[in-house]
Structure 1
Amino acid sequence: MALCKIFPFAFILVSCSCYLISGQRFDYPTANLSTTWINSVSAPHSIDYTDGSRIRAILLRGTFGPRYACGFYCNGNCESYLFAIFIVQTNSASQITSPAIGFPQVVWSANRNNPVKINSTLQLTAEGDLVLRDADGTLAWSTNTAGKSVAGLSLTDEGNLALFDSKNATVWQSFDHPTDALVPGQKLVSGMKLTASVSRTNWTAGGLFALSAIDNGLVAFVESNPPQKYFEASVGGSNTSGGSNYVKYLNGSLTLFTHSADTTELILISITPASSAQYMKLESNGHLKVYEWTSRGWREVDDLLTGFRGECNYPTVCGRYGICTMGQCSCPTSSSSRTYFRPIDVRRPNLGCSEVTKLTCQNRKKHSLLEVEDVDYFAFKADISDTDLNTCKRACLEKCSCKAAFFRSGLNSSRTRGDCYLPTEIFSIMNNEKDKTRYDSVAFINVQV
């Protein structure tokens, strides 16, 4: 005979037999209609971690090892919580363990921009809607599935939270609403995207970076106006007419699945094969990193978007207007004694540079172009092709919204002809490593005299 505990869980009384039955499940991966969970300090399946995070699990799938769970999550002072899916460490009885190294890894959240407080509630209503309300009853988030024949809620082995009907068909699933992370088995249908958080500590979905599935691959970009692309992995010849292509996170790759007559699977990015639980996350700095569980905790195993140009190709590595040279940041300087840019913080050059005199359109006659030799821009695309240097410069001065003119020409071509890019917003600039790029480049930054 084994001793059992009786836990009150919100409005539900969970009981267990006092006899262990062979094959008995200890996890709790599903829930029925008319179930309510309260984010209370006394709720079961709660654990505090040494990194300052706290969880209160309401569903958990599997036993013994890193497993998916969902519930209330906080990180920091725990005045506010997310309803999230996270990976936690469990023992053979599905108890959450390892508070000192097995920190919960959030792979999806419902209310990034609308966190809730202690005593908030999550309810699977009798009508089939999954509703998150704050402690004062204010609606924070909902699946809006009332009246759609929902029969229950389930957290799958792949970490997908799904509402299902009486025939076990999916009515709503978290995989259709990605946030900033992907787990193995998850896919991004063309048009879906990951959106980075503002920072490591501010998980609001207001960050600059996004990773989007397109018909023939993946593209990462800064969400400026217009967007500026800093990475692309794509293939030619794929069928783009149906709009149903998708990128899937497989063990060892991000793979494009198409409906082309020639091929159906095309590897876009190779990933270190998983030997344990693994997931990837679009970080607030634009990096797409892969993390894996080890005996020493979670560790980074891949940084997927860092190409041959290294850290300097990331749009905010040196802030706005900062020039990145071998990972070091500096501000554009003039050959004269005039200073047009200064560091935002001299002790933290990676924060970027500010204009000494703000560029405005009120006095266009005082616009001038600051020439910066041998620099390049991550999002270069030809606004004017096969042109000359002076035409490129003149086009920027004639356009008030132009922040700089970037000119690329063939290596040692005397810049007689080349391509011209006229961005309306400037992020980090990079040193042009000609031995890698095999072209000459120069920038003319629009400044106010």
Structure 2
Amino acid sequence: MALCKIFPFAFILLCCSCYLISGQRFDYPTANLSTTWINSVSAPHSVDFTDGSRVRAILLRGTFGPKYACGFYCNGNCDTYLFAIFIVQTNSASQITSPAIGFPQVVWSANRNNPVRINSTLQLTAQGDLVLRNADGTLAWSTNTAGKSVAGLSLTDEGNLVLFDSNNATVWQSFDHPTDALVPGQKLVSGMKLTASVSTTNWTKGGLFSLSAIDNGLVAFIESNPPQTYFDATIGGLDPSGGSNYVKYLDGSLTLFTNSSGTTELVLVSITPASSAQYMKLESNGHLKVYEWKNRWGEVDDLLTGFRGVCNYPTVCGRYGICTMGQCSCPKSSNSTTYFRPINVRLPNLGCSEAKKLSCNNLKKHRLLEVEDVDYFAFTADISNTDVNTCKRACLNKCSCKAAFFRSGLNSSRAIGECYLPTEIFSLMNNEKDKTRYDSVAFIKVQV
């Protein structure tokens, strides 16, 4: 009180100064037209992490804790970089911290199949195009938004990179171009999909697995011809004429929003509610995993693993490998003939190779190897209400058929059942009858 009486002006000045300091923004979430960023060793907001990754942030939204940023990123091999959105740890001044544990979590990238090198550039042009060029000036990626009234670039609190116009309306957004991850608040409109990378170290788009939103839910499949489904979370009886349906990542669920009878919300997959920053990623092995920050990043959910466990994943035991309680083996014949061998005896999960490759030149040398109590993840009946001999003949008469899978009622003596004739074989699995409640047998085509 005495200070206010003696030094009223000084007190007011001190209070105003404190207010200005505390009200100052330290994050940098937006950019104007005609801005260029260079992926150089001297670029600001550059951080090296102990896992070998490196980021050079150009936009960052928020302070203190796990926050979204975007910029140049490399994941250990820093000869090449992605332009990506990632979650990093920040302090109260929006500086990227925790290089030993807060490793950047990439949730979107622009140029998975066309990484760029040091001294590459990202430019928000005067015409409103966001353009990524390699160090030699060649085009690596673009939003193709020139002439579309773009006024600026912004990274939102939800991790969405947005080009907006003078009315703050969205012209282009990263949420419309998902890669292999989803963040809370993001949605997949019917027809959109996540596509896995080739491997944990090769982030190229071109992995075997995809997760697609369709009008009545979600389907995960392995890329083959035709695609084979290994997970299905769909709702029957929906009227698709009501408008475009979509699946949204909410706190605690993946939920289908449908306009079939007014806006309806239907939970497809339950998720552990978030207590901190969270995201999900479709891994290169087909798993859809949820990660959360709890003093470090850790897995909290493995969403596509149903009651059959890991054996239901298409590549868990490689091609032709049989999965039994997570262990892999090759199909064996009842006699001394060997039709399949492990690709690597010490690594049985790599799958099995054929002793003799199948050839259509002489169909008379095709035989069917019978393997009891073996099932397949992607069973879709090609022939219904049939008997086992008809199922076998159908495969032998069709060159492209690689196996005949026959399912029938439990203890039904295979009288009548359903027949599936796939043209490509991935991992097989032991049929756990107490769970499936049906009998199953595989007839695998081999060359003699």
Q: Which runs of 5+ in 2 are unaligned?
A: 1-16
1:102 paired to 2:120: no
The equivalent residue for 1:215 is 215
Equivalence map 1:183-194=2 (5 Å): 183-194=183-194
CA distance in 2, matches of 1:61, 1:362: 62
CA distance in 1, matches of 2:135, 2:118: 7
User: Contact 2:56–2:72 (CA<8 Å) still a contact in 1?
Assistant: yes
Question: Structure 2: which amino acid aligns with 1:349?
Answer: P
Question: Structure 2: which amino acid aligns with 1:429?
Answer: L
Question: Structure 1: which amino acid aligns with 2:305?
Answer: T
The equivalent residue for 2:4 is none
Question: Structure 1: which amino acid aligns with 2:126?
Answer: A
C-alpha displacement at 1:123, in angstroms? Answer: 0.3
1:44-91 Cα deviation digits (max 9, x unpaired): 100000000000000000000000000000011200000000000000
CA distance in 2, matches of 1:241, 1:386: 33
C-alpha displacement at 1:375, in angstroms? Answer: 0.4
Q: 1:324/1:56 Cα in 2 relative to 1: closer, same or farther (>3 Å)? A: same
CA distance in 1, matches of 2:405, 2:68: 48
Equivalence map 1:4-403=2 (5 Å): 21-261=21-261, 264-295=264-295, 297-403=296-402
Which secondary structure does the structure 2 equivalent of 1:208 belong to? strand
Question: Structure 2: which amino acid aligns with 1:443?
Answer: A
CA distance in 1, matches of 2:88, 2:227: 36
The equivalent residue for 1:404 is 403
User: Contact 2:241–2:260 (CA<8 Å) still a contact in 1?
Assistant: no
CA distance in 1, matches of 2:84, 2:411: 55
CA distance in 1, matches of 2:77, 2:395: 48
The equivalent residue for 1:438 is 437
Q: Which runs of 5+ in 1 are unaligned?
A: 1-16
The equivalent residue for 2:3 is none
CA distance in 1, matches of 2:360, 2:175: 46
The equivalent residue for 1:7 is none
The equivalent residue for 1:428 is 427
Question: Structure 2: which amino acid aligns with 1:273?
Answer: P
The total of aligned residue pairs comes to 431
Question: Structure 1: which amino acid aligns with 2:336?
Answer: S
C-alpha displacement at 1:243, in angstroms? Answer: 4.9
CA distance in 2, matches of 1:150, 1:445: 58
User: Contact 1:238–1:259 (CA<8 Å) still a contact in 2?
Assistant: no
User: Contact 1:272–1:301 (CA<8 Å) still a contact in 2?
Assistant: yes
User: Contact 2:243–2:259 (CA<8 Å) still a contact in 1?
Assistant: no
Which secondary structure does the structure 1 equivalent of 2:395 belong to? helix
Larger radius of gyration: 2
CA distance in 2, matches of 1:263, 1:249: 16
CA distance in 1, matches of 2:20, 2:88: 25
User: Contact 1:190–1:243 (CA<8 Å) still a contact in 2?
Assistant: no
Higher helix share: 2
CA distance in 2, matches of 1:20, 1:102: 31
Question: Structure 1: which amino acid aligns with 2:91?
Answer: N
CA distance in 2, matches of 1:239, 1:55: 46
Q: 1:262/1:386 Cα in 2 relative to 1: closer, same or farther (>3 Å)? A: farther
Which secondary structure does the structure 2 equivalent of 1:241 belong to? helix
1:226-278 Cα deviation digits (max 9, x unpaired): 00000011112323124510000000000000002266100111100000000
User: Contact 1:315–1:378 (CA<8 Å) still a contact in 2?
Assistant: yes
Which secondary structure does the structure 2 equivalent of 1:97 belong to? coil
1:447 paired to 2:446: yes
The equivalent residue for 1:4 is none
User: Contact 2:85–2:108 (CA<8 Å) still a contact in 1?
Assistant: yes
C-alpha displacement at 1:36, in angstroms? Answer: 0.3
CA distance in 1, matches of 2:222, 2:306: 17
The normalised TM-score by structure 1 is 0.95
Structure 1 vs Structure 2 CA RMSD: 1.1
CA distance in 2, matches of 1:41, 1:26: 22
Question: Structure 1: which amino acid aligns with 2:48?
Answer: D
User: Contact 1:342–1:354 (CA<8 Å) still a contact in 2?
Assistant: yes
CA distance in 1, matches of 2:21, 2:410: 75
Which secondary structure does the structure 2 equivalent of 1:285 belong to? coil
CA distance in 2, matches of 1:70, 1:157: 12
The equivalent residue for 2:417 is 418
User: Contact 1:217–1:247 (CA<8 Å) still a contact in 2?
Assistant: yes
User: Contact 2:242–2:260 (CA<8 Å) still a contact in 1?
Assistant: no
